[in-house]
Every structure is written in structure tokens, then in C-alpha cells.
Chain A
């Protein structure tokens, strides 16, 4: 939130007189200066008052104050309704610099395209990828359109009358956007009950950082409080093949979801040069894609490379660091089983365990990250896909 800067509108420190120079001399002043002792300070709270009929209740508020109020609204639909209040509102709303957009529905590509993308990966993939192609196919169905949403959408009776607006269309009205937050109706990853998977990715023109926190099950109130302390064998600490495979699938699913979101943003980023911060999250709280000022500039400077045939951007070759704990008891009483933390940066980056990993998630997940980072880790290199 911006720091408050007093505008000091209409502040007229006049020691002895009441009438202010900005006013037309009023034949019948409300206050008779002679009847009052010398005032120290005259606050004329209404320097702009005119004889015209007021248009709305906001007539007396100066533009900068009204803009401050509008900036707090954020929600684009509410702003749209506000633009109906008066011409003044309408002229001010394009100057709002903090906007929040809730997307009602995302239509993703059809299944055919998704499988093309899977094939693409299979032919290109080496090493780790070739082992998990089958698993990868099952991921691709996460990324096909959510039938439920589509069908409710299509069965809507007035469907043909509804004009659909994409966020970039709607945001075109805003010329001074600095902070933009977009929320998708749901997370892309179809997860089984109890599975926790959260990701946070920073993008420029391509993936720059990604942190993933996963757990095969989450218990809010474990029955026996602390079994891990009496049961610390080295055997349990090591990660076996099946466990590792599942972690890799999580990682790739999250990366695909992130790069698909990245792909959606091109028009918005190129259309709003004033943007300083962008956040694309979902209602389920699965993933957050962020871009800061420098990253947005990078995105504008070098055009994104779309992954051939897939509706996402190419994920570069990556260095991956993975932490694993069979069981993790968090301070708030939550227990994660098969807890996994993954930190990802493009190959060649050294810092794979900095503050950007620690600060990726809010509590209680931040504690989980901290606890996991104290454990042994595994390094993996991934090819671009």
C-alpha cells in the first residue's frame, strides 16, 4: 500500500480573515470574521465548490483523492460498475494503477493438442524423461479442459448472447497499470484427495525460478504426535525410485502448468508498459506465477518461444535441487507425509537454496520449507522441454 501523502487541499492559513482568495467574494458569508476572535488557522474544506448543481456525492473530492479511493477497489468488475456513476469516474478509472481480475473460465486447448505436446516431449526427452513417458501421458489429461467448467458454461441458456471478454481486452482500458493480479478459477493440476502440491514461479521471458512444495498426504491432526523422533533410521531418509518418480512427475506437472500460464500473459505484458508487478494465481491456491519489474522488461524485450504445438512457453534446461522427508510435523499441528521441496533455476545458476526458496510460501508451509532445507538434498539436471 502506498504511504499516505497529505494533499493539503484548500489549506489556507489566514490569520485574520475568513474569505479565501480562491473564492468569489460571498455577499453573505456564513462566518462573520468580526464576530470571532482571531483564528490561528482557517481550514476551508471546500475550495472548489461551484454554483453548479452537484453531479454526484463525490463532487467535492478532488481527483487525486478519488483516484486513491478507486485504487483501493482493485476488482475490475467493481470498477466497471463505478464507471457508470459519472463522466468523471469514467475519466478517472483508466488511471487506476492497481487492478485485480478474477477470470471466470479458462478454455484450454483440446485433448489432441495436449497429446501432441506430450509426444513432443517424448521425442525430445532424454534421461529422466524417457522413464516417465507413460506417467507423463497421464499428466497431460490434467491440462485438458476441465469438462465441468466447460459444460456449465455451454449449457448456460443465454450463452449465445453473452459477449466473452478476455482479460487483455478488458485491461486495455487501463493505461497506467502498475500492479496487476489475476486469479484463475481453478488450479490446473488434477490432484488426488489429500495430496498437497503448491508452486511459485518467477518468469521473465522464460522460467527464472520455481519452488514446489508437495506432500503425498496431509494430516491436520495426527494421532500419535511425534513418531519420527523415535524412529530415525537412515533407511527411511533415503528416497527410493518410486518416490523419486512421483516427485519428478509433480515437478514436471507444475512446470507445465506454470509455463502454460506464462503463455497466456504475452498480450497483457506487451500492452501495458507501465506494469511493475504481475501475479497470476488460482482460487485453489495451487500455483502463483509472478513477474517483477525487471522480469516484465525481459519479457517485453525478448519474444517468448512457444513450445512447438503446445500452448505454453518452452521450459529451459534446469538445475533442480530436491529435499525429501518421509514425515514432517509442522508447528501448527499439521503433518506432511512424503514431504518434498523442489527448487528450480535454469542450468548454470548456483543459488538453489536462497531466500527466494524460503520466502516462497506463507505459513504453515514456510516452516515446512525451512525444515526441509535443513535435510539432505538431491541434485537433478533437466533438459529443456
Chain B
């Protein structure tokens, strides 16, 4: 059994087999094998309990079919179901997603890292200029001159085939 502890001192007990999905944790377990320790404890600092919770939920969902995911041998129906589930799982705010990315990176969970990055880039991609502005916490960093140099994003792009 693995215990994860978050910054707000909440403890999460997870089966080794489940936590093994983190390559980082798996390595630690391997290193310590043979030493008589009932509990293994992983500290996750500076992260509130929401993230370990989400990570564990993700693990549990994937725990049941790791082989299938790795070999892409899932049936079409199962794959659809997992896709739907992941869409819902990642449907959260940017702060949470960013924390998930950090957690997935440190814990070395490639699929979680990829999924969260994909979602953040989708959010950035589909927002209008004003909405993107809302992501930014401060009013506006830029001076007027800087604004002028920006990559034109709203204007029509015209490719003129000119004489050489």
C-alpha cells in the first residue's frame, strides 16, 4: 500500500499495483524492495488534495486495462467509452490542468501528461482574443507599441502571387 500525502495533510492510500502507473513511484518501490516497510509514503508538497485525488481517480480508471491501452487492442466500444470518460475528466479549469501536468510530469505518467497538455492547448486554441485575455490575471502587460507588433490574428490573410 502506498500513501500519498498532500500539502493539506490529507492522506491517500493506494494499492501498489495501481500506483505503479507512475513510473517514478514504481522505481522507488523497486529500489526499496526487500526492506521491511509496511507503508510507503510519497509526499506531494505544495499541491492541495484535489490533485492527488484526481490522479488516483485517473489511475483507477486506467488500472483495469493497462495492457489494452498500451497495445491499442481495445475494442472500439471500450475505446469510445474511455475517450468519453477522459473528456469529462479533463473538463476542468486551467489551474487544475496545469497542476495535473506538473504532477504527471513529476510522477512520470505519460498518458496523463499528454491528456492534460492536449486539453490546455485546446482551451488556448478555441478562445477568442478577449477570452484569452481573461486567462491572464493582470490587466495588460503590454505597452501600446508592443500591441502593434503582435502576430496578426484576426485579419484576412492574403497570398498574392506576384510577378517575380
Interfacial residues, chain A to chain B (CB-CB below 8 A): 4, 6-11, 13, 18, 30-31, 36-46, 49, 53-58, 60-61, 65, 68-70, 72-87, 90, 93, 101-109, 113, 153, 162-167, 170, 173, 184, 260, 263-264, 306, 311
Contacts and interface: CB of A to CB of B under 8 A. Distances in A.
Contacts, number: 220
A43 B107 contact: yes
19 contacts: A10-B106, A11-B106, A30-B7, A36-B41, A36-B43, A43-B44, A43-B103, A43-B106, A55-B137, A65-B102, A69-B120, A80-B152, A84-B142, A102-B157, A104-B156, A164-B156, A164-B157, A165-B155, A311-B162
A77 B156 CA distance: 10
Interface string B120-135: 1100111111001101
Given A81-B128, A104-B156, A166-B160, 12 more contacts: A6-B113, A31-B9, A41-B28, A41-B43, A42-B42, A54-B137, A60-B99, A72-B118, A103-B157, A106-B161, A164-B155, A184-B159
A8 B69 CA distance: 23
A169 to B, nearest CB: 8
Interface of B: 5, 7-9, 23-25, 28, 32, 39-47, 51, 94-95, 98-99, 101-103, 105-108, 110, 113-114, 117-118, 120-121, 124-129, 132-133, 135-138, 141-142, 150-164
Contacts of A90: 150
A153 B161 contact: no
A39 B155 contact: no
Given A55-B138, A81-B129, A86-B136, A40 B32 contact: yes
Contacts of A163: 152, 155
Contacts of A74: 125
Contacts of B103: 43, 45
A161 to B, nearest CB: 9
Contact of B46 (A44, A65, A85): A44
B114 to A, nearest CB: 6
A46 B157 contact: no
Contacts of A37: 39, 41
B161 A8 contact: no
Interface residues of B: mostly helix, strand, loop or mixed?
A: mixed
Given A43-B43, A57-B94, A105 B157 contact: yes
A74 B141 CA distance: 24
A70 B101 CA distance: 14
A56 B135 contact: yes
Contacts of B163: 109, 113, 311
A101 to B, nearest CB: 7
A74 B118 CA distance: 12
Contacts of A9: 102, 105-106
Contacts of A60: 98-99, 102
Contacts of A80: 150-153
Given A6-B110, A55-B137, A56-B137, A61 B132 contact: no
B105 A105 contact: no
A107 B158 contact: yes
Q: Which one of B8, B9, B46, B163 has the greatest number of beta carbons of chain A within 10 Å?
A: B46
A56 B137 CA distance: 5
B156 A86 contact: no
A105 B61 CA distance: 47
Contact of B43 (A18, A107, A164, A311): A18
B152 A45 contact: no
B99 to A, nearest CB: 7
Nearest to A33: B43
Contacts of B40: 40
A84 B41 CA distance: 42
Contacts of B153: 77-78, 80-81
B142 A87 contact: yes
Contact of B161 (A40, A49, A102, A108): A108
